[in-house]
Amino acid sequence: MVFVSTLAAVALAVQSISALAIPAVEAPAVRREWTSLTLAARKEYINAVLCLANKPSIIPAGQVPGALNRRDDFTAVHINQTFGVHLDAVFLGWHRNFLYLYETALRDECGYTGYQPYWDWSKSVNNISAYPLFDGSEYSIGGGGLYDPSTGAYDLGPYHFDHGTGGGCVSSGPFTQLELHLGPIPISALFTQALPSNWTLRNNHCLRRDFNVPVAQRFSNGTAVAHLLDAPDIGEFQSRLSGVGNAPPGPHTAGHLQIGMDMFDVFSSPNDPAFFFHHSNVDRMWTIWQARDPLNRQFALNGTTINYDPAGAPIADLYTEENWGVLGRPKPMLELMSNRMFDFNFAYEDMQA
């Protein structure tokens, strides 16, 4: 395993002319759990998401014909970057900035006055449909999908999961009319390392979900989260977060799987608004874990810039530059390692530091 030390980060920061890697002194923006928000605040967030879905894409004409709106832009960038930003050293940092860019778009383009909420998985493990984020009310991001008996089971390595309670279109809540235009992409593409040639083309479909409580109960419970946060180093944290090979699904993978369908598409999962709540909590986990030993964890990296860390892939370090296409400027990994440095100045409501 390859680790990058805090001393190396400090040396790089000293060399940086464009910015200093010192913690922000202003009070941080606070990301809150969905159930901590007032009904009015939840409605404001929902309206901002619908607003993005009605703003035209900024991807240059002809590059991704299926990207019609600003939400599609985020899905398109995620699809295009998937092979380099999952199950590797840059996964956490890349998604931290992806989330920040989405939050910024909601605020700057659609007038949202809050910050990206998070989904505390432990609050929904026994009844996803009753949790206010997914209860299908006007103050939720929609309920489950209609039951589709043709929906198949899910297989992850040696783990087999029966399909859940849905599989079809979301039938309640504010996003029943949300039209998706990109994806789905078969999971087999993750292993062939090649996107379908037609992935950029328009493919209209509804938002689909397949709630799976058994997955939530087994892999998103308090014990699973405690096990994740007890990881001794960044390599083990990454492994426990997602699960690789024959390892059981970690809380990150389980979050996608328990919502299912569009959310379980590793490529186009940002199609589902739940993606950003889930990844806000993933980022919260990383932030909490880093804060427990900042000297050794704040700038710790392990692995390569290619998913599954294949032999010969480039080793990631703090100089490694990541990009988000039309969404925002490229950044070195150094700028992505702290929630209180460079462009970032945010905290989570249960750890406002």
64-121: per-residue pLDDT in tens? Answer: 999 999 999 999 999 999 999 999 999 999 999 999 999 999 999 999 999 999 999 9
What's the mean pLDDT in 326-342? 98
Residue 14's pLDDT is 41
Q: What is the mean pLDDT of the chain?
A: 93
Q: What is the pLDDT of residue 158?
A: 87
Question: How confident is residue 212, by pLDDT bands cut at 50, 70 and 90?
Answer: very high
HSE of 326, CA atoms in CB hemisphere, 13 A: 19
pLDDT at 331: 98
> What percent of the chain has pLDDT above 90?
88
Query: What residue type is assigned to position 63 of the chain?
Result: Q
Under DSSP, the state recorded for 55 is S
Nearest alpha-carbon partner for 8 in 341, 343, 337: 337
Q: How far apart are CA 309 and CA 307, in angstroms?
A: 5
Q: Which residues pair with 226 in a beta bridge?
A: none
State the DSSP string of 63-132: T-TT--BHHHHHHHHHHHHGGGSSSSTTHHHHHHHHHHHHHHHHHHHH---S---B--GGGTTT-GGGST
Q: What is the DSSP string of 316-329?
A: P-TT-EE--GGGS-
List, in order, residues 6 or more apart from 226 with CB less than 8 Å away. Answer: none
- What is the arithmetic mean of pLDDT over 222-234? 97
Q: Is the pTM of this model over 0.85?
A: yes
Task: For residue range 238-262, list pLDDT tens digits in order.
Answer: 999 999 778 899 999 999 999 999 9
Confidence (pLDDT) at 247: 87
Provide φ and ψ at 54, rounded to 5°: -110, 5
Residue 288 in tokens: 């909490």
Provide CB contacts within 8 A for 189, sequence distance 6+: 195, 196, 267
pLDDT of residue 157: 80
- Answer whether residue 284 shows pLDDT above 60: yes
**Helix, strand, or coil here: 208?**
strand
Specify the pLDDT at position 81: 98
Encoding tokens for residue 194?
């090649």
Q: What are φ and ψ of residue 161, in 5° steps?
A: -130, 125
In DSSP terms, 321 is beta-bridged to 332
pLDDT, average across residues 123-127: 97
| Mean pLDDT computed over 150-161 | 89
| Helix, strand, coil % in the chain, rounded to nearest 5 | 40, 10, 50
Q: How confident is the model at residue 44 (pLDDT cuts 50, 70, 90)?
A: very high
